[in-house]
Amino acid sequence: MEESNNKSLNFIEQIIDNDLKEGKNEKRVYTRFPPEPNGYLHIGHAKSICLNFGLGEQYGGKTNLRFDDTNPSKEDDEYVNSIIEDVKWLGFKWDGDIHYTSDYFDQLYVWACDFIKKGLAYIDEQTSEQMREQRGTPQEPAKPSPFRDRGVEENLDLFERMKNGEFEDGSMVLRAKVDLSSPNMQMRDPVMYRILRAKHHRTGHDWSIYPMYDFAHGQSDYIENITHSICTLEFENHRPLYNWYLDHIAGDVDRTQQIEFARLNLNYTVMSKRKLMQLVEENIVSGWDDPRMPTISGLRRRGFTPESIRNFADRIGVAKRDNIIEYSLLEFMLREHLNKITDRVMAVIDPIKLTISNYDEGVFEDCELVNNPEDDNSEKRNVPFGRNLFIEKSDFMADAPKKFFRLSPGKEVRLKGAYIIKCEDYITDAQGNVTEIICTYDPETKSGSGISRKVKGVLHWVSAEKAIDAEIRLYDRLFNDEDPLGHEDKDFKEFINQDSLQIIKSCKLEPSLANAKIEDKFQFMRNGYFCVDKDSNPGNMVFNRTVALRDSWAKKK
């Protein structure tokens, strides 16, 4: 508590604090998260979720989850469900029922009729090209539509018939009569309603007309008594229109205030549902939840924790100007959390046989390992040791340079939690590849026995007989360019990293991992953080590498 009080307030908190001081909105703080269900949420949305729900919690207010479902041709229940799942997984709880802008279609229609009745809206039958030609420039006013001064009765009649589906898609629109010479182009008679005779995911074929974002968003905020409507900077020039509509609907009362902040941009990725959809539809990734995707479901499957994402959102704060955040910061927050919570286990990704020649065949003994040395209350577990083991191929060199502190002929290393072993010999195949390493162990040196010698290398290992097989999926960044969308002459897909997925079969894991469940997370000693993939099953385990132990990209750049 102390700490958060001392933290300097961001500009949104300052606005809210000020509103509370002035007693605005009966001192309520109601926020909302308003996704359009036209795709899966990405890490940018996670930022917005953390911000909106975070403020609701911080000020003892509440936060609505509202689906902004005004564009039936692109929306789907699959997206609604995935968004609900993502918000829950991040650990937030919305107030009461889920809201949908489509719940307000009747009310919005009534309000639109009121605008017509006040002479503030008209039906325009021009084509969109004609309207575009008349728009003018910021310096030059727009030309009035020939339909701008139609009578109220005619407008009401046409609007009703638009609603009843009498006219073709695109044949006419309802426009607000605002200000054709405003320097803000949003105010030059914006469209309020369009004809779209598509099936809506909730209202079916009830409506043939749908409100535009600007005629729905502020009104929905108003209906839900939202006090602070937080959105990204691209809506800054929509704010006068947001207020204009509410001036006419609500009048001069305390009401929602729109506040804009800079959207989250991350390097080495793209964050637009439309672009992410292309990757899915063109099978460049396996789906919206492909572990390389910046979607919340992709990050989840990759092994991110909700805490790491929330900590990241907190750490980057809110900005008023666009900026780009390093992907490695997100991974840093992830490592920081996984380091605290994961058990350290032994898994050999690229195995080679190692035989302890002075250890009896068929005999096994338990070696005790601490699950998580970062946790003072950590439990311990037993790992079986025996004559036949696997270690990583890269931990042995037949002809090793001086500084190679792993295994090589005549050298000693410690096997983690077990014994000090000495390499006596090795076996090669016809091509000269090493196929087996022969060692002896020193029975005096079991870990915990108190008897030891200084050895430089500590290797992870598994028992050949007791290990379980698993498939391991190693990931790299999906794009090999910092700003895949920043090239005018090139499509962002040209920057796909072709080596972003590497599948390794027959990895050998210590037997305790046989009970791991989907999404369980571990540190595979020396190899990184891993989690069980949803494709995994007891006969065919699949692990994703979430992130390496260290940032390997820091060097590459």
Q: Which of 44, 56, 294, 303 binds ligand ATP (CB under 6 A)?
A: 44
Query: Is residue 48 close enough to count as binding ligand ATP by CB under 6 A?
Result: yes
Nearer to ligand ATP among residue 75 and residue 343 (C-beta): 75
Tokens of residue 164, six digits: 């009843």
Q: Which of 27, 28, 36, 107 binds ligand ATP (CB under 6 A)?
A: 36
Rounded CA separation 13/29 (Å): 11
Q: How many chain residues interact with ligand ATP (CB under 6 A)?
A: 15
Nearer to ligand ATP among residue 101 and residue 308 (C-beta): 101
Rounded CA separation 208/206 (Å): 7
CB of 64 to ligand ATP, least distance (A): 12
Query: Is residue 484 close enough to count as binding ligand ATP by CB under 6 A?
Result: no
Nearer to ligand ATP among residue 218 and residue 417 (C-beta): 218
Give percent helix, percent strand, percent coil of the chain, each to the nearest 5: 30, 25, 45
Distances from the Cα of 488 to the Cα of 275, 282, 418, 420, 529, angstroms:
15, 21, 58, 59, 37
DSSP code, position 267: T
Q: Which of 12, 30, 35, 87 binds ligand ATP (CB under 6 A)?
A: 35
Helices and strands per DSSP (H, E), number in the chain: 14, 25
**Per CB under 6 A, which of residues 210..249 are in contact with ligand ATP?**
231-232
Query: Is residue 65 close enough to count as binding ligand ATP by CB under 6 A?
Result: no
User: Choosing from 194, 239, 273, 310, which is the catalytic residue?
Assistant: 273
**Per CB under 6 A, which of residues 267..296 are in contact with ligand ATP?**
271-274
Rounded CA separation 388/74 (Å): 58
User: Choosing from 161, 263, 381, 493, which is the catalytic residue?
Assistant: 263
DSSP character string of 382-411: EEEEESEEEEEGGGB-SS--TT--SB-TT-
Q: Which of 150, 263, 381, 416 binds ligand ATP (CB under 6 A)?
A: 263
Contacts of residue 132, defined as CB under 8 A and 6 or more positions apart, other chains included, come to none
Rounded CA separation 468/441 (Å): 24
Active site residue 273: yes
Question: Which listed range, 41-49, 84-92, 343-351, 405-413, lies at the site for ligand ATP (CB under 6 A)?
Answer: 41-49
Nearer to ligand ATP among residue 49 and residue 349 (C-beta): 49
Active site residue 393: no
Q: Which of 16, 25, 29, 34 binds ligand ATP (CB under 6 A)?
A: 34
User: What are the backbone dihedrals phi and psi of residue 380, each rounded to the nearest 5 degrees, phi first?
Assistant: -120, 165
Nearer to ligand ATP among residue 39 and residue 528 (C-beta): 39
Rounded CA separation 449/109 (Å): 80
Nearer to ligand ATP among residue 219 and residue 523 (C-beta): 219
Assess contact for 220 and 106: CB atoms under 8 A.
Answer: no
Overall residue count recorded for the chain in this entry: 557
CB of 63 to ligand ATP, least distance (A): 12
CB of 24 to ligand ATP, least distance (A): 22
Nearer to ligand ATP among residue 263 and residue 353 (C-beta): 263
Active site residue 263: yes
Distances from the Cα of 108 to the Cα of 111, 228, 263, angstroms:
5, 21, 29
User: Choosing from 36, 57, 326, 519, which is the catalytic residue?
Assistant: 36
* Closest CB to ligand ATP: residue number: 44
Rounded CA separation 544/530 (Å): 5
Query: Is residue 56 close enough to count as binding ligand ATP by CB under 6 A?
Result: no
Residues noted as catalytic: 36, 263, 273
**Which residues of this chain interact with ligand ATP, rule CB under 6 A?**
34-36, 44-45, 47-48, 231-232, 263-264, 271-274
